[in-house]
Each structure stands twice: as C-alpha cells, then as structure tokens.
Chain A
Amino acid sequence: MSEQTFAQKALARAAGMETVEIGQVVDARPDVVLSHDNTAAIRRIWLQFGQERVVIPERIAITLDHAVPAPTTKHAQNHAEIRQFVQEQGIHNFFEVGRGICHQVLSEEALVLPGQLILGADSHTTHFGWLGAFGAGIGRSEVAALWATGELWLRVPESMKVVLEGELPPGVTAKDFALRLIGDLGADGGLYMSIEFHGSGIEAMSLESRMVLPNMMAEFGAKTAWIAPDAKTTAYLAERLKRKAQSGDRRFGKSLETLSVSELQALLLSMALLPDPDATYAAVHHYRAEELEPYIACPHTVDNVVPLSAVAGTRVQQAFLGTCTNGRLEDLAAAAAVIRGRRVAPGVRFIVIPASSEVLKAALEKGYIQDFVEAGAVIGVPGCGPCMGNHLGIPAPGEATISSANRNFRGRMGTPDSEIYLASPAVVAATAVAGVIVDPREIGG
C-alpha cells in the first residue's frame, strides 16, 4: 500500500474503502451535513424528491447565522420555514438566532470530530480542518441530495504541504500567515487541493489561531485543509463533550457520562488520520514564522496582499471585527488590548460582532465588551454580521472598511462602490482608533 495523504485516508474512511487513489471519484458518506439560512431553499429542492423524511436527521446540523435576527419580513419568513422543517424532521442539532456562526458553533458543540467528514452549504466549511476533520463546501442541491441519500460523489484531491517553522513575532497572527500564503501563491494557489499544515509554528499556535488557517483556505481555492489534532485539540473537544453528557450522544458507542475526559481524549486521538511521511504532494512550501509581518489584503481580491506598511495611512470610515475567521475570544482580546482607554476616531464606526454566544459571554466576563463600548464601538448580535452585505454595517458608496473577515470582493458587503481591506483583529482595532490603517505596535497597542 502506497503512502497516503490525509485527504486519501479521510475519503477512504468516508467511502468505506480500504484505500483510495488521488483523482479517484468516490461516493462518500459525511458524518455531518451543515446548512444555515439557506436551509429553506435546500428544503424546496429536497421536496422534489418526494420523500417524507430525510434519511439522515441525526447527521444534519443547522444554524441561523447569516442574517440574524431577521432584518426584513422576507428574511423572517425564510427563518420560519427553516424552524418548521427542523420540527417536522426531528433535527436536534439546530441552533437559533444569536447562538453564533455555524463553524464556530459546531466547533463549540463538538459536533465534528477528528478524521470525520463534514460537508456544508457554506464555502468556509474548510474550517473544520482545525480539529483534523475533512471539511468541504458544497452547493444547495448537493445538501438536498445528501438529506435524501446520505451520500455524495467527491474526487480525491491532490495535496499541498505548507510548513511553518518557528514562532510568530508579537503582533503577527495566523491571519497574517494566511494572507501571506494567499498573496504569494494567488487566490487559485490551492485550487482543488487539500492543504496540510505542518511544522512547529502550527503546533505552537493556540486553537483559536489554528482555526483561522483552514477557514481562510477557502480563499485559496482549496477543497479542504488540515491540521494535526494534538492534546490541546482533544482537551477542547473532550471538555465540551462532557458538558453534553446528558444529551444521549452515542457516537463513542457508550454514554458520555461513563467516559472520563482523559478517556475521551484518548478516543479522539485514536480517530485522528495522520498523513504518512512519504505521501504524495503536488507542492511543498516552507515558511519561517519570524520572517512574517502584518499584512493587508487590498481591494478587491483576497490575493492582493501587501505588507501593512505599504498602505499605512489609508483612511477608513468603518472597522469590522468579527466573522468565522476572526470573531473569537482571542481576537476580541487582541482588539480590546489595543482599544482599552482609547476612543474610536471621529468619522469611524467600529462594529464588533462576537462569533458566538459563548464568545460574547466570555468577552463580557473578561471586560472586553466594556472596553469596546467605552471606546465608542457598536456591539452586534453573534452571527455573520455585515460580512456578506445582508445587514448590520453596509458601507455607503465611496467608503472604505477595514475588516477581520475573509473576503473583500467588490460588492461583498452590499455596496459595489466601496472598498474592503482585510487584516488581523489588532490591526482592525488600531485602525478604528487612528481612522487610518496603522500597525498597532506603532501606537503602543
């Protein structure tokens, strides 16, 4: 048997096969099928199959996050249709308005485990690589087909190995590394590929930092992305599984109540699928963490990346901190550290939207929300916020926004004649204070 990549092992497992070759098309059975506000549209496709019941209710996870709470009657009708479907089909993994963004919520709820396959009607489903799962985005019709049959064709992708050695300097984050990689190789640099992250720089990262990398690989054209689960990963998941001990979760073959955290950790680690040392890679790229700096993706493509210094002084009218990419506690902490005791610049709106209710609660306890409010920021409901131009911070024509999100395409935030700059959370906060793009290290942040 030849040496296998993570993608080969994960898709072989999901297809119930011993091994699969790169390029082979397999019928895979995902462990989790994700959808969000698009669930009503998926239901209307699924109805064409004439089924009364979906075949995999226990594998379906649905969050309301993209336009929450409903900004218009039409959005409200959309949500109402989804709630009705959830009730009719007995779907337990349903998360209401305000719980948070799908990728963050499913992570916090430990619904996706190492080595598993999650397919979602959301391009950032690559996110789940942070815990060693195979996550890939699919279309609405494909989710409907999964509800009806439980399986979907997938091509086994080529893999790229990205190695980060060393430790990131202060003020340089996983977001900067992701932007640098996309800037170096282009928005199609990882097209169709599985991106495996390796190296001491990845191991040294916090889990919240790791989450940024597979998430951002959607902007690299990747099919999926992967980081090796370690003791930090399994501790996070095991603790959350124990919190749900009463839930009747039978994924481990016995009740969660009878398993200790350390037993759960061992089980989770045994589920990890590690690539073989001599697996076949289409490309290998090496980076030194110490050589990285803060980067900005300039309008209107994510690969239009420059060092922050090249655009320092650019005026913005709006700063947005949030999203599935950078709306976690660590991100809010970095931004709060910059803004504490300062004021948002005149002529700037600073919008802060925690990625989930868990993040919001922790940020309240830590005092970060108070820091933001005292500085003059606006706090939004956990969810996607203005990332995709539905509501809660749509820019006016001619305005520029600095954002911790993942996409800066023309019109992304709802207005084609506006500009979006992507950066790390601390840079977003520093820019909100200065009114112009600035390195937080230069204002003593």
Chain B
Amino acid sequence: MRITGRAWKYGDNINTDVIFPGKYTYTVTEREEIARHALEDLDPTFAANVRPGDVVVGGRNFGCGSSREQAATCLVYNGVGAVIAVSFSRIFYRNALNNGLLVIACPAAVEAILPGEQVTVDTEQHVIRCTAGEFPFPPLSPSVMGIVEAGGLVEYVKRKLATP
C-alpha cells in the first residue's frame, strides 16, 4: 500500500478534545458531520481543505486524552491516509488501527517533514518519503497487522465469528 498526500503538521500532545470536541460525542453521529468537526479547536482550516491521502504529522503523545473513537474516525472520514508522530497515546493508537487508519511512530520523519509538502508512506518497504529523504519505520506486529489487513477490527471480528 502506498499513501501520498500533503502534510498537515502540528506539535506535541495533540489531544482528543482539539481533534474532536467532547461536546459532540453523543449527538454528532453521521460520517459527514463527524468529518466536518475534525481538528476544529486546533486548526479550523483543516476540515474544509484536507484531501484524501493527506497525512497528519504530530509530535509526542499524539491523541492523548479521551478514549473517544471519533478522534480517529473523524480523520478516516476525511480520507486522511496516515498519521505520523513521534509517539502516540495508546487508546488513540488502538482506535486508529481498529479503524484501518495507519499510525506510524517515526521521530526522524516528523523532524524532517515540512508543513504542506508532499509525503509518501510505503507500507511494503516500510519507508516514509519526503523532500529531505527516506525514513524507515518498523513494521507492525503480526497480530495487529491481522486487524489492519482485515480492514479494521469490525471486519476482523466478523471473520473470526464466521470461522467455526
């Protein structure tokens, strides 16, 4: 799989409240509407301008805070191809993979990527490419890769339940 898009670059500790505000979590349920509120309190220009395949780049502890899954799905519903960060908060990391959103911890790439530039993520060769060069990242563990390959946790569980 190869993902190519523009980089939307932000800082450390990007939390779930600025990714998808808590006040919407029980009332906003439609995909389009969830997508519209993505990163609302961090970058009000994001949802209107993001294009499929674009990549969100963050610093340390990306996705910290709430367990709300919309912090991952609001990016998925906007067509975001991957999130590259120095490190991830664990619940966000799980939520992203469970919804088929690629999350890659790669500090060197985060440092090198310039805001707005074109970035390619190659999941077969396990490298991130940008103007500054190529940055390798470690592959996911096989057990977790099974969920991503199935297209997310729901599909993975469906298959598991179908297997006697």
**Residues of chain A having any CB pair with chain B under 8 Å:** 25, 37-38, 40-41, 45, 48-51, 66-67, 72, 74-75, 78, 120-123, 125, 137-142, 144-145, 148-149, 153, 186-188, 191-192, 219, 221, 223, 301, 303, 388-390, 394, 407, 409-412, 414, 416
- CB pair B161–A49 under 8 Å, yes or no, is yes
B152 at interface, CB cutoff 8 A: yes
Classify chain B: how many residues form its interface, as a range. 35 or more
User: Least Cβ distance of A158 to chain B in Å?
Assistant: 12
Contacts of A389 in B (CB 8 A): 17, 21-23
Task: Give the residue among A51, A120, A142, A301 with the most B Cβ atoms within 10 A.
Answer: A142
Contacts of A414 in B (CB 8 A): 21-23
- CB-defined interface of B146-164 with A at 8 Å, one 1/0 digit per residue? 0000001110011011000
Task: Give the residue among B22, B40, B144, B152 with the most A Cβ atoms within 10 A.
Answer: B22
- CB pair A75–B27 under 8 Å, yes or no, is yes
User: Least Cβ distance of B43 to chain A in Å?
Assistant: 12
Interface residues in B77-123 by Cβ distance below 8 A to A read 87, 89-91, 94-95, 98-99
Q: How far is the CA of A83 from the CA of B95 in the complex (A)?
A: 26
User: Least Cβ distance of B40 to chain A in Å?
Assistant: 8
- CB pair B41–A123 under 8 Å, yes or no, is no
Contacts of B60 in A (CB 8 A): 186, 188
Interface residues in B31-83 by Cβ distance below 8 A to A read 40-42, 60-61, 64-69, 72
Q: Which of B23, B99, B157 lies in contact with A145, CB distance below 8 A?
A: B157
Known: A41-B29, A123-B65, A188-B87. 6 other contacts (CB 8 A): A41-B26, A67-B26, A139-B95, A188-B89, A191-B61, A389-B21
Contacts of A148 in B (CB 8 A): 157, 161
Contacts of B72 in A (CB 8 A): 139
B13 at interface, CB cutoff 8 A: yes
**Residues of chain B having any CB pair with chain A under 8 Å:** 13, 15-18, 21-23, 25-27, 29, 40-42, 60-61, 64-69, 72, 87, 89-91, 94-95, 98-99, 141, 143-144, 152-154, 157-158, 160-161
- CB pair B91–A188 under 8 Å, yes or no, is no
Contacts of A25 in B (CB 8 A): 141, 143-144
Q: How far is the CA of A149 from the CA of B22 in the complex (A)?
A: 29
Contacts of B61 in A (CB 8 A): 186-188, 191, 221
- CB pair A137–B87 under 8 Å, yes or no, is no
Can you list 13 A-B contacts with CB-CB less than 8 angstroms, sorted by A residue number?
A: A25-B143, A38-B26, A45-B154, A139-B98, A148-B161, A149-B161, A153-B143, A188-B13, A388-B23, A394-B23, A407-B17, A411-B40, A412-B22
Contacts of A188 in B (CB 8 A): 13, 60-61, 64, 87, 89
Q: If the complex has contacts A48-B154, A139-B69, are A411 and B161 also in contact, measured as CB distance less than 8 A?
A: no
- CB pair B89–A221 under 8 Å, yes or no, is yes
Q: How far is the CA of A66 from the CA of B68 in the complex (A)?
A: 12
Q: Which of A37, A123, A142 lies in contact with B98, CB distance below 8 A?
A: A142
- CB pair A138–B41 under 8 Å, yes or no, is no
- CB pair B41–A140 under 8 Å, yes or no, is no
Task: Give the residue among B67, B68, B153 with the most A Cβ atoms within 10 A.
Answer: B67
Q: How far is the CA of A75 from the CA of B61 in the complex (A)?
A: 31
Q: How far is the CA of A394 from the CA of B22 in the complex (A)?
A: 12
Q: If the complex has contacts A123-B91, A139-B67, are A409 and B15 also in contact, measured as CB distance less than 8 A?
A: yes
Closest 7 CB pairs of A and B: A388-B22, A188-B61, A411-B41, A139-B95, A409-B17, A74-B27, A389-B23
Contacts of A38 in B (CB 8 A): 25-26, 68
User: Least Cβ distance of B46 to chain A in Å?
Assistant: 14
Contacts of B15 in A (CB 8 A): 301, 407, 409
- CB pair A388–B66 under 8 Å, yes or no, is yes
User: Least Cβ distance of A38 to chain B in Å?
Assistant: 7
Contacts of A186 in B (CB 8 A): 60-61
Q: If the complex has contacts A123-B66, A149-B160, are A187 and B22 also in contact, measured as CB distance less than 8 A?
A: no
- CB pair A49–B158 under 8 Å, yes or no, is yes
Contacts of A149 in B (CB 8 A): 157, 160-161
- CB pair A416–B41 under 8 Å, yes or no, is yes
- CB pair B67–A223 under 8 Å, yes or no, is no
Q: Which of A153, A192, A390 lies in contact with B90, CB distance below 8 A?
A: A192
Contacts of A140 in B (CB 8 A): 67-69
User: Least Cβ distance of B35 to chain A in Å?
Assistant: 16
User: Least Cβ distance of B105 to chain A in Å?
Assistant: 11
Q: How far is the CA of A137 from the CA of B65 in the complex (A)?
A: 10
Q: How far is the CA of A393 from the CA of B60 in the complex (A)?
A: 31
Q: If the complex has contacts A75-B27, A141-B69, A153-B143, are A191 and B87 also in contact, measured as CB distance less than 8 A?
A: yes
Closest to B62 in A: A188
Q: How far is the CA of A190 from the CA of B6 in the complex (A)?
A: 32
- CB pair A139–B94 under 8 Å, yes or no, is yes
- CB pair A121–B67 under 8 Å, yes or no, is yes
